[in-house]
Amino acid sequence: MKKNLLTAILTGTMLAGMLAGCGGGSDDTKSDGDSSNADGKTVVTLWHSNVSPEVEPFEEMLAEFNEQSKDVYVETEWVAREEQTKQLTIGNMAGELPDMVYVDNPEVISYGEMGVFQDIKELYDAWDENQLLESIINSSCYDGKMYGIPYSCNNLELFYNVDMFEEAELEPPATWDELVSCAEALTKDGVYGMAFSAIKNAECTFQFMPFLWSAEGDWTSMDSEESIKAMTYYSDFVQKKLANKEVLNWSQADVCKQFGSGNCAMMINGSWNVGTLRNDYSDLNFGVVDIPIDKVNASCLGGESICITKDGNAEACMEFIEYFVGKDISGDYTKSISKFSPRSDVDNDELYGDDPVMKTFADALSFTYPRGPYPKWTEVDNAIIEACQASLTSEKTPEQACKDAAATISEIQASLDE
């Protein structure tokens, strides 16, 4: 009895505390449980949060699926990303969940372990086109269970202002030392050499993780020599005034605006901003290279999975997922929305051979890793954000910030072991 009550309380509390991303969008009517339409097809409902430029390709793909499927019809309901946690919490408590839902990949395990999503590993294993990149599918797997299937992904790279580099006679950096040298040379006349997002939300951790992993540190060992080295290197950009201290308040979109406006020579940012720069700053001459390394290449995985809720019609949902994430659709669809397919059998040379910028991002998927996966990732995320912000503001030394984060994460793990 106490355990059931605690589970109910934790489900509502943890879901309400999770971070959500951005949203915008469209759409249809929610179905109430298993039902059939006039054609006798099983109707299932998908909650999505697509915004332009994703809306039109999604609606076209969905119409094609509904037309060709003999057995399943997918209805959609648009739910703003910032409302998703609230709506999932309400729906879970009231027993009124959709059949499927888009979920940001770091949050999949938290929902799954609380029983909101089904374990669909057997269905995935039975799918004859389940050739997804291991590092990406792992974002939705935990303890032998699979709670979602990634349908698109993105990652981070280093953008640089080509004109500024040519004027300074510099080559794009490939190592940590070269990145600092370039930032030092380009920080002048009101322009900062480097920019990244260290805002107090999940974007901060997202952008810090490549530095952590490149030094061969990890969130499971924040007090290690490697993790402390990464935090020191990262915070030195602000401490040495090679990056504007306002990075503490800048979202990734803000960083993109700063870069597009010529206020910084380099930035860490995601593939989705390639289109923003091309559309909003068409005169900007920019290039993209892998994030400079300490020991190994590393980037951080962004993107979403489609998850089947606890009462969803799994077989009907899986028919849609197999179509949507299948080899015939996935590559062209994700390219159309400036993201990447999670599939291992997609030919990036063919898809992005005419776009070296996007191909750089696509090729980096081979060393792109997920945050977690972990049932209490939101709590871990908050501990890392606090460490980053404390180190950047000199509230704590990088070493102390990392040690405090490690202690907090140890407590989080202990709560799972109880």
User: Which tokens in the block code for residue 287?
Assistant: 């290039």
pLDDT score of 218 more than 80: yes
pLDDT band for 28, please (50, 70, 90 cuts).
Answer: very low
Output the furthest CA–CA distance in the chain (Å, rounded).
Answer: 70
d(CA 309, CA 89): 12
Q: Which of 218, 163, 197, 200 lies closest to 270, judged by CA?
A: 197
Q: What is the model's pLDDT at position 34? A: 59
The pLDDT score that the predictor gives to residue 14 is 41
pLDDT of residue 417: 87
pLDDT at 410: 97
Express as a percent the part of the chain with pLDDT over 90: 81
Which ranges of 95-167 would DSSP assign to H, the alpha helix?
108-113, 121-126, 134-137, 162-167
User: Residue 272 in contact with residue 339, Cβ under 8 Å?
Assistant: yes
| 18 vs 284, more confident | 284
For 331-359, what is the mean pLDDT?
92
**What pLDDT is attached to residue 418?**
77
- pLDDT of 77 reads 95
Query: In this model, does residue 7 exceed pLDDT 90?
Result: no
pLDDT on residue 414: 96
Mean pLDDT, rounded, for 297-313: 96
Q: Which residue has the higher pLDDT, 27 or 23?
A: 27
pLDDT of 24 strictly over 60: no
At 38 the pLDDT is: 54
178 against 55, higher pLDDT: 178
> What is the C-alpha radius of gyration for the chain, rounded to an integer number of angstroms?
22
What 3-state class would DSSP assign to 222? coil
- State how far the alpha carbon of 15 is from the alpha carbons of 28, 35, 345, in Å: 25, 28, 35
Query: Would you state the pLDDT for residue 135?
Result: 87
* pLDDT, position 30: 38
Query: One fold for both 2-154+302-369 and 156-300+376-417?
Result: yes
Per-residue pLDDT, 51: 84
The architecture CATH gives domain 156-300+376-417: 3-Layer(aba) Sandwich (3.40)
CA distance 291 to 237: 15
Q: How confident is the model at residue 88 (pLDDT cuts 50, 70, 90)?
A: confident
Q: What is the DSSP string of 5-70?
A: HHHHHHHHHHHHHS--------------SSEE-TT-PEEEEEEE---TTSHHHHHHHHHHHHHH-S
- Parallel, antiparallel or unpaired: strands 100-104 and 302-308: antiparallel
Domain ranges of the chain: 2-154+302-369, 156-300+376-417
- CATH, range 2-154+302-369: 3.40.190.10
Lowest mean pLDDT across 5-19, 189-203, 299-313, 399-413 = 5-19
d(CA 327, CA 318): 15
- Does the pLDDT at position 9 exceed 50? no
Q: Is the pLDDT of residue 238 over 90?
A: yes
**Which token pair is 192?**
């900062």
Q: How confident is the model at residue 81 (pLDDT cuts 50, 70, 90)?
A: confident
Q: pLDDT-derived band of residue 22, with 50, 70 and 90 as boundaries?
A: very low
Outline where DSSP puts E strands in 108-265: 141-142, 145-146, 149-154, 156-161
For the segment 332-343, the average pLDDT, to the nearest whole number, is: 91
3-class secondary-structure state, position 406: helix
**What average pLDDT does this structure show over 142-162?**
97
pLDDT score of 73 more than 80: yes
Which pLDDT tens digit goes with each residue over 106-141? 999 999 998 999 999 999 999 999 999 998 999 999
SS3 call for 99: coil
Per-residue pLDDT tens for 383-400? 999 999 999 999 999 999
Q: State percent of the chain over pLDDT 70.
A: 91
Q: Which pLDDT score, from 0 to 100, does residue 399 have? A: 98
